[in-house]
Structure 1
Amino acid sequence: MSRSKQRSWIGLAIGSLGFWLFPTILTAIPAYSADRVAVFYGPLEFTLSVDALESFVKEGKITDELAPYAGSIKPESQAQLREILQQRFEANPTLISQFTSAQLGKTVLERMGKVLLTETGENGATALRAALISAAGDPQGLSLLNLVRKFPDRTIRVNLNLGLQITAQFSEFTKYRDAIVKVIEQQAATEAETAAKVDFSQQPDLRKAGSFQWEQQTITLNDTVRDRTLTFDLYLPQANDRVSVQQPAPVIVISHGAAGNRSSFAYLAQHLASHGFAVAAIDHPGDNTKLFEQFFSGLTGSPQPIELVNRSLEITFVLDELERRAQSDPTLKGRLNLQQVGAIGQSLGGYTSLALAGAKLNFPQLQKDCNNDQFLNLSLLVQCDVARLPNSNYTLQDERIKAVFAINPLTSSVFGQSGLSQIKVPVMLVAGTDDIFTPAVTEQIQPFTWLTTPEKYLVLLENATHFTTIAKSRDERSVLPIPPELVGPDPALARPYINALSTAFFKNYLTNASEYRAYLSPAYTRSITQEPFKLILVQSLTATQINRAIESVTPKQASQP
């Protein structure tokens, strides 16, 4: 789905339902009841029957009761609205039950329950959970309309005041994001004009595989400290007739996101190995695909906050083991440079790689941010999990990490400005402009300005979502059913960007091959950018530029959120 269509889909749901009944479709929960919906806005209140709404959704019929509200919605918008309300979501009762029993799920329900209240005006979280589980087990499936029918109260009370506030904040947030992206585009153009001119058509194409063949080993370790088994895939470059391997080869570790696994970025590991790097793609057993499958099946508990500490320590454990094997294992001896290590991570893996590079957990920032309801930044639901840990000076840095490539990392509260400013090694942050799980502005763009390391890069993938850079094998089923609207355009089209930029980044900073620095420029990204993903890179961006962008679209006498 294109960015404009995605906005249209979300905007229709919010705008139409906001005027009509409720503006909170962005929470994916409707605001009407099994029999009636009572909408209150200040001193005003009106009610509608669900029967009237159901006649509209299933038959396209506008009853007399519904006519006063439907008249202001265009026919094409009505058709799209009907489609949204009928859309089935692939979820089973066990999955819903498990998720909503975990702390993160409880928090989501509590926040939604402030908009969708019970018949007596209390928080609707408990009733909403029951409705979700019941609808998921119904033959008609989990749809917004069926969810309403399963709500245990006869009437759902809708707090339109709060709903409208959320809608307004969403609209403002989108407006600010677009203004900031425009400023970044202008900054990239300026940097491109002042840089030395390079004809990249005459340079090696880093989007393509390198000259090295590679071999893959799967290694399993017994981590007695954390009482778990660690498995990782090691990709080793091999010499051939055309080229010899740099001995020893710099090592790159890859950390997947929540519900991912060591194959999530196998395409990237293989690409880097073909360019002469040894790559270790690690499975984090505390929050990987297997654990989430077991959790949603009711076979185990939810991931615990301590896993956000364990992740970095697991990578250190793997690096320690590789150092030991590089001395004792004939197949690895002399092949690994474990003093020049790079880290790549996506989402929680991005957080992990930044922690390895020296970013410090920021408990004061978490305490401040996690006391507020956050409807727009979903990543705070995960970041605030860290606040449940004992406030301690956790040592997560590994001095062997000399450069970090972080994709969609969550950073704003778990590290904050004081935590990120501790990083002293080169960093490249990659953001997707349509990422609703770790929003680009709050989690990558603004945090980029907090980095004090002089060697830093910000990469924007316009139209990219949280899932754009992740790969799945054809026979691999997603743990969570993700609607195509949230996946976005074909992810395979963006992977060459990640291949090229990571290769240039680590060639420059792990092997001191300065000829690759030219690729780390706006001019290079401009030379390879293609639809549907526009690629933008900047090396400089200030908080002042961001603030001016926000001010340029902020109405006078309006406060910035």
Structure 2
Amino acid sequence: MTIGANFIPTVRPAFGAERINISYGIFQRSIPIKSLELFARTGEIDEDFSAYARYVDKKELAQLRRLLLTPIPLGAVEVSQFLYTAIGQTLLERLGDVIQLESGLNGFYAIRSALIVSAAQKQGFTLLDVFRNYSSNAISINLSRTQEIAQSVQILINQTKNAIALINQESREEMGSTEVLTTGVTTRRFQVQKAIFNFNDVSRNRVINTDVYVPVASGRRPIVVISHGLGSDRTSFAYLAQYLARSGFVVVVPEHPGSNAAQLQALLSGRADTVTDPREFVDRPLDIKFVLDELTQLQDSNATLRGRLNLQQVGVVGQSFGGYTALALAGAKINFEQLNKDCPPLRSSLNVSQLLQCLAVRLPRTEYNLSDSRVKAVIAINPVGSSILGQTGLSQINIPVMIVAGSADTVTPALPEQIQPFTWLTTPNKYLALINGGTHFSTIAESPNNALPIPQEAVGASPEVSRSYIESLSFPFFQTYVAQQPSYINYLNAGYAKVISQAQLPLSLVRNITPNELQQALNGSPLSSNQ
């Protein structure tokens, strides 16, 4: 469905919900919405709500009150635009399994209508407004389905805890076999010049705005390319670009026009009807190949670039969708067989990133040439890849790879998207860095172009620590495998991770976890050094 910029559904609920019916099998409890409103606004628990509140501790009640009153800073066009995308509709279907009509039918249409109407009534609408605009006399909460989801959540949590325990233990054991370091890596400090280019790929009708950070140093310098995530832009990792450029690398930061912040803004304002096009899985790696080609043509004629670029020694670092981009450039191929198995994702799946990956099933089935021989090593931060690349795709990479995971990542969960894919890599030089407590947004800097503000809860604690890890890991990694300075490999081990680790977000680094070791951990087998 294509939605115009001024599209706002005219449907209005004939009546709003007055009660929430919570059902579990043959048992049912009903709570008047006015009781929730009284509790949310004053903290008072009346007789009707007390029947529910007595089973909930004070912390959970406080969280519920915040949830009911937290403003949602979106307008009707923004809400409707997202909810009519394929990803938005899939999320609504899953939510409708739990939040149903009074008849017990899926609440898909009622939820969508209530969200849009609430957003049209006022900026900063709340969950209470949504309840009042729900097109059914009562909202039915299916606790049986909720319990199924909760069980799936608990299974994933338990398995993730076991996998994280395995990685942390392996990191501690690897420290015993490496040189004990007492300080972090030191770098030279060059002055940096920044140039901005607007590269026009006529064949694909894409203008790729690109920042190039050039250290003021003699001789041709190795290159690092940074690929941003979905809905982000080239300012998201400007801190890393500056750090690596001051350390001696030429840093190239292209902006992917079909999956950047501008694309998300276009969706929310009604100028686009998709979060991103499936073609982005192809276009993003091609963007980087094209930019490298353009720089090759420009390097001798542009004053800032002249004599500064070694375009045969390139590293790539990418986050989220950019992590996929880095892995594709490294040699991983799109895996249509795995996509057919995984898509559409099960409604019980807790891996939200599969909604993005499954867009790729609409791509023409052909052999896409996305790798680039100039790329010598890659770092993938919170990458997506379990379905779009799968084991077959990832096993084709033969250059050095570092995968960075956050244990508290709920967008690209660490276990299915980073830890298990790490075990599928067959390249001999591979590393898995785990930021304990890190989220999907921990390593991203705030951008003035963000279409949506990221709540602090989603960013997590101490993002500056996570960003310092990316700096401290990327420099020796690219020095070793791109700049060809083998002495820096002494910093690519668990001992170095321990030196730079900070208590707020402990860091672990491992060189190898086998599929068998991981499976034993997931099954709850005791961890031991001889597994």
Amino acid at match of 1:340: Q
Do residues 47 (structure 1) and 25 (structure 2) align?
no
Amino acid at match of 1:144: L
Q: Which moved more, 1:249-258 or 1:34-43?
A: 34-43
Of 186, 191, 214, the residue aligned with 1:205 is 186
Do residues 227 (structure 1) and 205 (structure 2) align?
yes
Do residues 354 (structure 1) and 320 (structure 2) align?
no
Aligned to 2:359: 385
Give the Cα–Cα distance (whole angstroms) in 2 for the partners of residues 284 and 126 of structure 1.
34
How many residue pairs were aligned? 509
Structure 1 residues 140, 78: CA separation in 2 closer, same or farther (over 3 Å shift)? farther
Amino acid at match of 2:229: G
Give the Cα–Cα distance (whole angstroms) in 2 for the partners of residues 250 and 525 of structure 1.
25
Amino acid at match of 1:223: D
SS of 1:402's equivalent in the other structure is strand
SS of 2:290's equivalent in the other structure is helix
Of 537, 547, 550, the residue aligned with 2:519 is 547
Amino acid at match of 1:305: P
- Listed one character per residue, the Cα deviations across residues 77-128 of structure 1 (whole Å, up to 9, x for unaligned) are 4233222222222222221111111111111111211222223333211111
Once the 2 structures are TM-superposed, how far is the Cα of residue 521 of structure 1 from its aligned partner? 0.7
SS of 2:402's equivalent in the other structure is strand
Do residues 171 (structure 1) and 150 (structure 2) align?
no
Aligned to 1:398: 372
How large is the RMSD of aligned CA atoms in angstroms?
1.9
Q: 2:192·2:246 contact (CA, 8 Å) conserved in 1? A: yes
Once the 2 structures are TM-superposed, how far is the Cα of residue 411 of structure 1 from its aligned partner? 1.1
Q: 1:135·1:141 contact (CA, 8 Å) conserved in 2? A: no
Once the 2 structures are TM-superposed, how far is the Cα of residue 211 of structure 1 from its aligned partner? 2.2
SS of 1:501's equivalent in the other structure is helix
SS of 1:270's equivalent in the other structure is helix
Once the 2 structures are TM-superposed, how far is the Cα of residue 295 of structure 1 from its aligned partner? 1.8
Of 291, 298, 301, the residue aligned with 1:325 is 298
Q: 2:232·2:450 contact (CA, 8 Å) conserved in 1? A: no
Aligned to 1:193: 176
Give the Cα–Cα distance (whole angstroms) in 2 for the partners of residues 35 and 137 of structure 1.
20
Q: 1:179·1:553 contact (CA, 8 Å) conserved in 2? A: no
Superposition map of 1:60-71 within 5 A: 60-71=43-54
Do residues 363 (structure 1) and 336 (structure 2) align?
yes
Of 428, 439, 453, the residue aligned with 1:465 is 439
Structure 1 residues 75, 300: CA separation in 2 closer, same or farther (over 3 Å shift)? closer
Aligned to 2:128: 145
Once the 2 structures are TM-superposed, how far is the Cα of residue 177 of structure 1 from its aligned partner? 1.2
Structure 1 residues 76, 293: CA separation in 2 closer, same or farther (over 3 Å shift)? closer
Structure 1 residues 477, 283: CA separation in 2 closer, same or farther (over 3 Å shift)? closer
Superposition map of 1:295-444 within 5 A: 295-302=267-274, 303-329=276-302, 331-371=304-344, 372-444=346-418
Of 126, 135, 159, the residue aligned with 2:109 is 126
Do residues 250 (structure 1) and 222 (structure 2) align?
yes
Of 519, 523, 529, the residue aligned with 2:495 is 523
- Listed one character per residue, the Cα deviations across residues 290-318 of structure 1 (whole Å, up to 9, x for unaligned) are 22112211123322111121101111110
Gaps of 5+ in 1: 1-32, 240-244, 555-561
Once the 2 structures are TM-superposed, how far is the Cα of residue 388 of structure 1 from its aligned partner? 1.8
TM-score w.r.t. length of structure 1:
0.87
Give the Cα–Cα distance (whole angstroms) in 2 for the partners of residues 551 and 204 of structure 1.
38
TM-score w.r.t. length of structure 2:
0.92
Amino acid at match of 2:141: V
Give the Cα–Cα distance (whole angstroms) in 2 for the partners of residues 55 and 205 of structure 1.
58
Amino acid at match of 2:192: W
Once the 2 structures are TM-superposed, how far is the Cα of residue 324 of structure 1 from its aligned partner? 1.4
Structure 1 residues 41, 310: CA separation in 2 closer, same or farther (over 3 Å shift)? same
- Listed one character per residue, the Cα deviations across residues 412-457 of structure 1 (whole Å, up to 9, x for unaligned) are 1111101100101000000111110001111001100000000000
- Listed one character per residue, the Cα deviations across residues 513-559 of structure 1 (whole Å, up to 9, x for unaligned) are 111101101000101111311111000111222222222289xxxxx
Structure 1 residues 213, 374: CA separation in 2 closer, same or farther (over 3 Å shift)? farther
Amino acid at match of 1:186: Q
SS of 1:368's equivalent in the other structure is helix
Once the 2 structures are TM-superposed, how far is the Cα of residue 458 of structure 1 from its aligned partner? 0.2
Give the Cα–Cα distance (whole angstroms) in 2 for the partners of residues 151 and 167 of structure 1.
24
Give the Cα–Cα distance (whole angstroms) in 2 for the partners of residues 374 and 69 of structure 1.
26
Give the Cα–Cα distance (whole angstroms) in 2 for the partners of residues 230 and 140 of structure 1.
34
Amino acid at match of 2:146: G
Q: Which moved more, 1:72-81 or 1:301-310?
A: 72-81
Aligned to 2:504: 532
Identity %: 43
- Listed one character per residue, the Cα deviations across residues 172-204 of structure 1 (whole Å, up to 9, x for unaligned) are 21122122111111101111101133x333x64
Q: 2:351·2:413 contact (CA, 8 Å) conserved in 1? A: yes
Do residues 480 (structure 1) and 449 (structure 2) align?
no
SS of 1:552's equivalent in the other structure is coil
Amino acid at match of 1:205: T
Q: 1:405·1:427 contact (CA, 8 Å) conserved in 2? A: yes
Aligned to 2:214: 236
Q: Which moved more, 1:455-464 or 1:111-120?
A: 111-120
Q: 2:185·2:476 contact (CA, 8 Å) conserved in 1? A: no
Gaps of 5+ in 2: 1-15, 527-531
Give the Cα–Cα distance (whole angstroms) in 1 for the partners of residues 477 and 377 of structure 2.
8
Amino acid at match of 1:398: D
SS of 1:114's equivalent in the other structure is helix
Give the Cα–Cα distance (whole angstroms) in 2 for the partners of residues 160 and 180 of structure 1.
29
Deviation above 4 Å: which 4+ runs of structure 1?
Answer: none
Q: Which moved more, 1:265-274 or 1:323-332?
A: 323-332
Q: 1:52·1:66 contact (CA, 8 Å) conserved in 2? A: yes
